[in-house]
Structure 1
């Protein structure tokens, strides 16, 4: 018997940025995204006619906000399956403490597992290929080692994004270099389904075809453009205490059948 209900908890990664819904977007409406969690839910729904799905994730949320706002709702909904990915936004902030974050995560996982649900946890990407972010690679590694330990301690499924070589190619990422594109989300969905032992049409171990050599001067211009158009505004919002998710509600707050 497959899963009959699934609740996704987290930030922009789980909300699905930047994997846009092509149809059904109203003019002036806040952009709605599909993402790996929707893709996993769609596959699970194919196997279980009564399947229901909720996605509580909101872009920009910190781990404390996710634990306080989303985890109690996930417990209340009592699904068979819960995915929980948090911490990326915290790790990018100066002064964040991966040990404190891990304690917060462990307490939340204990609550979620206490409902009897299967829980899926995630490591994140190795930031070694990203300018600026590679400087805090050690902090990322410490937190993700904690995630592995917490997964073992509470009997969770672990999706090890760090080891996914297919995501080290920039063709899996959107222009902001912080969020996956549709191809990247498709690969993560395939990895999640593999961890859950659910057959998938996609292979998360895929190898990208060779690319033409990029002129180093072009690469430097692209890096400068990324700093100016994406990283700079992101840092500016953090300094002002603002988030891209301020005022936004979850895209699927209740367990409902998929269309």
Structure 2
């Protein structure tokens, strides 16, 4: 823990997570949990409950959502829950849309942050990481840099907690990323949870993954992985854009209502109980 706790010692303890795939937990697979993923936000909720019993948690994030969706579909629901803690990552999918006016995007982003901060809740914001997946995406780097600059300004203006994802060197290791190279792996989600908890001043025992140096790839192996990545991820992504569909179209929020997080057993215990009740009905 690197700071005094920024969370209430008593009173209402509700944590609401807003956003897209980053917050939904894509890349951290767990079929025992809603939407088949876990993610950093679930891990943060569980550590909160261990440090301060009584925390409730809702996660409204859905993969592929743009900022306009988060503002129209998630914000009012979150505010109605009267959260003590809100996390927000939004805009990454908009940056990938070539027609996006990033300056206008960040005006809307600030409007949302102002609404969240106006509740008195502790608000956590994130910069975006400089994901070097391909030279094809290099033109997006300037957009990402502008986005991060504005996020830092907005965090300072509204007194939000900033997790400066851009500066986390651990994510330069490719093993922190899932096979699509855009979402964190289980190790990446776990590490990020520790960073969030550190910023909030919440005790935890999440330790960075200790790996041997990554093996150097032969040219043949590198080419094989590139072809697989293009086939499995890039072509389907462009296909969805052409068809106007997203991976989140048929999904619902993982934890749409605040659930009380047990000190022992965590959210898997909550999920198992819900499945059991469903079978009994």
How big is each residue's C-alpha offset from its partner over 1:141-161, in whole Å with a ceiling of 9 and x where there is no partner? 111111111101100000111
Match of 2:145 among 134, 141, 148: 141
CA contact (8 A) 2:14 2:81 kept: no
Instruction: Please name the residue that 1:20 is paired with.
Output: 29
RMSD: 1.7
Instruction: Please name the residue that 1:256 is paired with.
Output: 259
Aligned mates of 2:198, 2:101 — CA distance in 1: 31
Instruction: Please name the residue that 1:11 is paired with.
Output: 20
Correspondence list, 1:235-250, <5 A: 235-250=238-253
Q: Does the C-alpha gap of structure 1 residues 90 and 198 become closer, same or farther in structure 2, counting only changes over 3 Å? A: same
Instruction: Please name the residue that 2:192 is paired with.
Output: 188
Aligned mates of 1:12, 1:180 — CA distance in 2: 10
Aligned mates of 2:48, 2:97 — CA distance in 1: 35
Instruction: Please name the residue that 2:79 is paired with.
Output: 75
Instruction: Please name the residue that 1:55 is paired with.
Output: 59
How big is each residue's C-alpha offset from its partner over 1:85-128, in whole Å with a ceiling of 9 and x where there is no partner? 01111111112122111111100011111111010000111133
Aligned mates of 2:80, 2:69 — CA distance in 1: 17
Select the structure of larger CA radius of gyration.
2
Match of 2:235 among 232, 235, 249: 232
Q: Tell me the number of residue pairs that the alignment of Structure 1 and Structure 2 aligns.
A: 253
Matched, 1:209 2:212: yes
List runs of 5+ in structure 2 lacking aligned partners. Answer: 1-8, 262-269, 271-281
Aligned mates of 1:135, 1:239 — CA distance in 2: 20
Matched, 1:106 2:110: yes
Match of 2:47 among 40, 43, 58: 43
Matched, 1:179 2:188: no
Deviation at 1:134, TM superposition (A): 2.3
CA contact (8 A) 2:133 2:182 kept: no
Deviation at 1:189, TM superposition (A): 0.3
Deviation at 1:207, TM superposition (A): 6.2
CA contact (8 A) 1:127 1:134 kept: no
Deviation at 1:136, TM superposition (A): 1.3
Correspondence list, 1:125-136, <5 A: 125-136=129-140
How big is each residue's C-alpha offset from its partner over 1:161-188, in whole Å with a ceiling of 9 and x where there is no partner? 1111111111011111111111010011
Aligned mates of 1:74, 1:85 — CA distance in 2: 14
SS of structure 2 residue aligned to 1:70: helix
Q: Does the C-alpha gap of structure 1 residues 257 and 9 become closer, same or farther in structure 2, counting only changes over 3 Å? A: same
CA contact (8 A) 1:10 1:86 kept: yes
SS of structure 2 residue aligned to 1:190: helix
Larger RCO (CA within 8 A; separation ≥ 6):
2
Correspondence list, 1:146-185, <5 A: 146-185=150-189
TM-score by length of 1: 0.93
List runs of 5+ in structure 1 lacking aligned partners. Answer: none
Aligned mates of 2:45, 2:194 — CA distance in 1: 12
